Amino acid sequence: MKYSRLLYAATTLVVVITMTMVGAQSNARAATVCTPTSSVSAPYAKDGAGDICVQTTSLCTYINSWNLSALEINGTPYLNTYVASNTIAPVNGLYIIHYVSTVAWGHFEIGGTCSSGPTPTRTMTPIGPTLTPTRTSTRTNTPNGPTFTPTRTPTRTNTPTTGPSLTPTRTPTRTNTPTVTLTPSATTVTTGNTGNATWFTSLGQPYGGCGITQSALDSQNFIALNVQNSPGDYTTFHPRPIAPEFANVIGTWNNGLNCGRWVKVTISDYCNGTNDGAPNMAFCRGGTGYVADAYNGATLDMIVADSCYDSNAWCRDDRYHIDLAQASLNLFVKNGAPVGDMSPNHWNNRHVTWQYETAPNYTGDINIGFIQGAQVWWSPIAITHLLNGIHGVDYWNGTAWVKATMDSDMGQTYLISPIVAGTGNFQIRVYDVNDQLINNGRTYSFSLPASCAGQCGPAYTQVTYTIQ
């Protein structure tokens, strides 16, 4: 279950999706193109095994795929990745799509805002010097600069002891909707709730759904929360963040507002049956159902770092489903010691009970860092080491405090501006999950590091700061 964003230039923004992709696109017309057997309208999704060739006149805002053997558009490969559609050129007004999957959980989608004609190439005229971004990560443009797309690694290999092999899946990525105002929803969990638990291997590159690199997390025991709660609907992918008019389907991810929060997870009953997350099928069907065993009651403190937006029953039907880091499964503690051998033979996506908590054994203060591509004219920051989550950031513009914009629904990444436009000095204050200023309104002053003189190259560049 998985999930993905990026950069900006000045007079005309040139978005470079990957170095490989650029080379591939330059030869797109010379590549072998399949012969379409039908036309499809966008938005469009294809799931399951098969070898098909179709054509369409629009790719909407993005394409995404996972668990495929091949995915080509006009002869150019875009296999198992998220791509902003305005980087893919039509041929004679058409996009010819070749889809190949040998497994039932293969997936391809065209999503976002759609039009009847070919996807236009987007241009922007931001202020500031002309930049030539050359990143190798997936990106989509926003009016305030690039937005990094967190991705997830589709390498889950659960093997239930009863029933068929589990379906490895991956969180679809997407373009953001910057006009949405993020507000806490009714799905915020404050007491224990029970749901199915699955696992995934790692955060995507360079970021997980919260906009944080895995190496910058406070703990490698991390989880992903469901983006959407839409039982029985496995095909609708609302643009993220999900707009207020669709508040009824907002999942526990809560448009990123639960990022960086700590969760105490308690192991509950084992499924003695088939628990594969198949759409429109019961959880833990057949066998003797959910049963208690020696692992019940084991606990582990984990941190919210990613999101689950798959088209399976776990991510759509089970409001309190969580996706756990695979390396954490045998670290759950019972009677003062790690369980050691719960996974794989005693896992089978068993029930867990979980609830939010303040950061255990918390000391120190927050960490602040610039994300890749940051510079004086576009300054996204990531905030970690939080006592009780994050619901907002203010930045000082020299005369007043201004509410910073969350970068899509990557809940720990915010777009700020310097105290004086075009300079590298910043001052911020931070709000916790209760919408209260942390540390009694403490302000944090810092500068763009010398290593980011042009723009920050690493995925995360931590800064030092002074406080007031």
pLDDT tens digits for range 51-96: 999 999 999 978 888 778 899 999 999 988 777 788 899 999 999 9
Is the pLDDT at 143 greater than 60? The verdict is no
Q: Are strands 367-371 and 460-462 parallel, antiparallel or unpaired?
A: antiparallel
Q: Which residue has the tokens 């190496």?
A: 215
Q: Please give the biggest Cα pair distance in the chain.
A: 67
Write out the DSSP string of 112-148: SS--SSPPPPP----SS--------S-EEEETTEEEE
Give CA–CA dist 350/343, Å, rounded.
11
Q: What is the pLDDT of residue 151?
A: 44
Which residue spans within 28-120 are E strands per DSSP? 38-39, 44-47, 50-56, 62-66, 70-73, 76-77, 83-84, 95-101, 107-111
Question: Is the whole-model pTM more than 0.75?
Answer: no
From the list 456, 466, 445, the residue with the least C-alpha distance to 376 is: 456
Instruction: Write out the H or E segment, with its range, that includes residue 194.
Output: strand 193-200
All CATH 2.40.40.10 domain ranges of the chain, comma separated, are: 193-357
What does each C-alpha distance from 32 to 17, 55, 64, 82, 467 come to in angstroms? 22, 15, 21, 22, 59
Tell me the mean pLDDT in the region 119-141. Answer: 34
3-class secondary structure, 182: coil
What does each C-alpha distance from 453 to 11, 27, 376 come to in angstroms? 20, 35, 9
Q: What is the pLDDT of residue 191?
A: 57
All CATH 2.60.40.760 domain ranges of the chain, comma separated, are: 367-467
Beta-carbon contacts of 348 under 8 Å, excluding residues fewer than 6 positions away, are 158, 160, 161, 162, 163, 270, 271, 272, 275
List the CATH code of the domain at 367-467: 2.60.40.760
From 10-19, 254-263, 369-378, 379-388, the region with the lowest mean pLDDT: 10-19
Which residue spans within 315-384 are E strands per DSSP? 322-325, 333-334, 337-338, 351-357, 367-371, 379-384
Q: Please provide residue 319's backbone torsions phi and psi, each rounded to the nearest 5 degrees.
A: -55, -35
Q: Are strands 392-396 and 425-431 parallel, antiparallel or unpaired?
A: antiparallel
**What is the token pair recorded at 294?**
């020696």
**CATH topology assigned to domain 193-357:** Barwin-like endoglucanases (2.40.40)
Q: What is the pLDDT of residue 118?
A: 56
Tell me the percentage of the chain whose pLDDT exceeds 70: 76
Tell me the mean pLDDT in the region 126-131. Answer: 34
Give CA–CA dist 150/382, Å, rounded.
13
